[in-house]
Structure 1
Amino acid sequence: MQLVEKHTVKEVTAHIRIQEYGPLVFNTLPSRSSVKKAIKKGLIFINGKQADSADWIEEGQLLEVFQLKPTTKHFKLNLDVLFEDDYVAVINKPAGYPTSGNFFKTIAKALPYNLKISTKNDALLIPQPIHRLDNPTSGVLVVAKTKSSQINLNKQLELKGIQKTYIAVVHNTPDSNMLFNDNIDGKESESKLEIIKTFKVKDDIYSLVELFPKTGRTHQLRIHTSKAGYPIVGDQLYGISSEKNKKLLLHAKSIQFKHPVTGNEVFTTSELPKRFEKLLNLS
């Protein structure tokens, strides 16, 4: 195990248990449920002994929080790192790999191979993606390197404070810029489409568009464009039955968020991948 945080109790003004006290003093355990889980896993110690959820806090106690060292092997895949410091990183995810999941060849398992180890006390032993890109989708992906940054960025995501822009090639020509708000799996979802240009290849009409998801449902952009009659080129799930292109032409072009420590705006972009060039060069 690796020590993440420690705290010496200086003064106790009322009877309080470790489960209630922990969120008040530990950055990496912001809620009672997170403290309870850590206690259950044997990751919190009081004066060198494993804590119990019924333990009372007393003046002078040394409280320590640990995390388990990972046992999984790293996936040796070279990634393009677009931004990195001790707290957060942004990488350019290649198409063809899942972001995470119960597989060996995932972007999550490749992160330790590409990112520097954080020097901060609450450094995550394995950096964690904050959001997800589908297997066939490429582009910018935000990664937390410390526990406190992970909590902060997840909160930004929940409050829709992280702005994402995608670029895609769709079939047909939208009449104008569009707003989609079809529910997905019974949940509210919203996306915006803006037309960059329309072009023709032989008898097929395509449009290069920018897409702006306001919510983050699974396959949201692919479902919204397909339902509207403008499926993304190469979409094997929601595309047209006569699809000739096998590669999904959907790319996370840019992302903007507040740095979890400095509060400064971080804006990162990724170039259009080569799989778009073949179709665009024919236009």
Structure 2
Amino acid sequence: MKLYTTYQVAEEHQGLTVEAYLKQVLSYSGRKIQKLTRHKGILLNKKPVFLQKQINTGDVLRVIVLEDSSYGVEPEPGQIEILYEDRYLIVLNKPSGLLVHPTGQTTHRTLSNYLAYYYQQQGVISTIRPLHRLDRETSGCVVFAKDSRTQTLLEKFLQEGTLKRTYRAVVNGIVNPPSGTINLPIGPHPTKPNRRAVNPKGDQAITHYKTIQNFSEASLLELTLDTGRTHQIRVHLTYLGHPIVGDRMYGKSSALIAGQALHAYSLHFPHPVEHQEIALQAPFPANFLQLIDNYSHA
């Protein structure tokens, strides 16, 4: 059974060609449109249509969802925690210590390998498409698209700020002022290739923070991002003088937690196809809760 995504042409798009509508309104690439054309996967009012056909208000455009032929990673049995799932996307709560996707010399035992196995057990072939990455030691929400169209829409949401991510972090020291915005460019570290640093020649990076709770020697912060630079939260907080507890790369390890105390706490976004609002929270991992409890009783 073929699966289609259906769109009704709004008055503002009257007169566009099918190709222009696909590119300008639906953000399809030229390459993807060519692939859809080869598969005869574009219908206008239930009939095959040429790309240069003009569309009218109220027309119904149906675009086939092309089936994937591989997972892109090797399926491996492993535990995953599902926060949300439908036929277009899935959101997982990643544990600390696990990579999102194979990279470098690590090709196995990642969240993507485990998700591929989950799909395999259901008899589904869907290429693993993480919308964003979390560092190995960061826990929390990760979104995966189940098809390329959904991925394109979600990436657009991410770029426009429609997909909102909120983090929680325990940092060393008492942050003063208790809330604020860090607007400092981030680029490569001058001497350490695996690290990033505040760099005047780097890319713009904006992090908003507010204090949720103060302890005697640490603070629990909530953070939101306007940009998505590599290691952005870790670099900005270290520059502020308050590195994340347990961050061995930008601060130092802690006997109170294995890994770093950074958690992708929540997501809020409109569904890319069905348009209802989706709001999700990822429960704190046990070691994060234990760290807070230790500081609370210090």
Matched, 1:105 2:121: no
Worse-matched range after superposition: 109-118 or 168-177: 109-118
Quote the Cα distance in structure 1 between the aligned partners of 2:230 and 2:27.
28
Count of residue pairs brought into register by the alignment: 246
Q: Which residue of 2 aligns with 1:15?
A: none
In structure 2, relative to structure 1, the CA distance for the partners of 1:208 and 1:34 (3 Å cut) is: same
Range that drifts further, 98-107 or 217-226: 98-107
Counterpart position of 1:256: 268
1:145, 1:276 → 2: CA distance?
30
Q: Give the aligned CA root-mean-square deviation in angstroms.
A: 3.6
Instruction: Pick the aligned partner of 2:209 from 193, 203, 209.
Output: 193
Q: Is the 8 A contact 2:69 2:125 kept in 1?
A: no
State yes or no: 1:277 paired with 2:289: yes
Match in the other structure for 1:49: none
Aligned to 2:149: 148
Q: Distance in 2 between matches of 1:197 and 1:152?
A: 36
2:253 counterpart of 1:237: no
Rounded to whole Å, the distance in 1 between the matches of 2:65 and 2:144 is 22
Give SS of 1:282's match. Answer: helix
Superposed CA deviations along residues 183-234 of structure 1, whole A, max 9, x for unmatched, are 012111111111011112xxxx111111111211111100010000010001
Task: Please name the residue that 1:14 is paired with.
Answer: none
Which blocks of at least 5 consecutive residues in structure 2 are unaligned?
5-16, 41-49, 54-63, 188-201
1:51 match: none
Alignment-mate amino acid for residue 190 of structure 1: I
In 2, are the aligned partners of 1:44 and 1:65 still within 8 Å (CA)? no
Percent identity over the alignment?
30
- TM-score between the two structures when normalised by the length of structure 1: 0.74
Partner residue of 1:32? Answer: 30
Matched AA of 1:179: T
Could you give the per-residue CA deviations for residues 59-81 of structure 1, whole angstroms, max 9, x where no partner exists? 9xxxx996662274202111110
**Gap regions ≥5 residues in structure 1:** 6-19, 47-55
Classify 1:73/1:114 alpha carbon distance in 2 versus 1 (closer, same or farther; 3 Å): same
Partner residue in 2 for 1:50: none
The 5 Å alignment of 1:171-210 reads 171-175=172-176, 176-185=178-187, 186-200=202-216, 205-210=217-222
* 1:88 shift after superposition: 1.4
Aligned to 2:134: 133
Q: 1:52 — aligned with what?
A: none
Cα pair 1:90 1:143 within 8 Å, conserved: yes
Aligned partners of 2:83, 2:120: CA distance in 1, in Å? 13
- Cα 1:177/1:68, change in 2 over 3 Å: closer
For 2:110 and 2:20, how far apart are their aligned partners in 1? 32
Q: 1:271, CA displacement in angstroms? A: 1.2
**TM-score normalized with structure 2 length:** 0.71
Within 2, Cα distance between the matches of 1:25 and 1:138? 36
Whether the aligned pair in 2 keeps the contact of 1:29 and 1:35 (CA below 8 Å) is: no
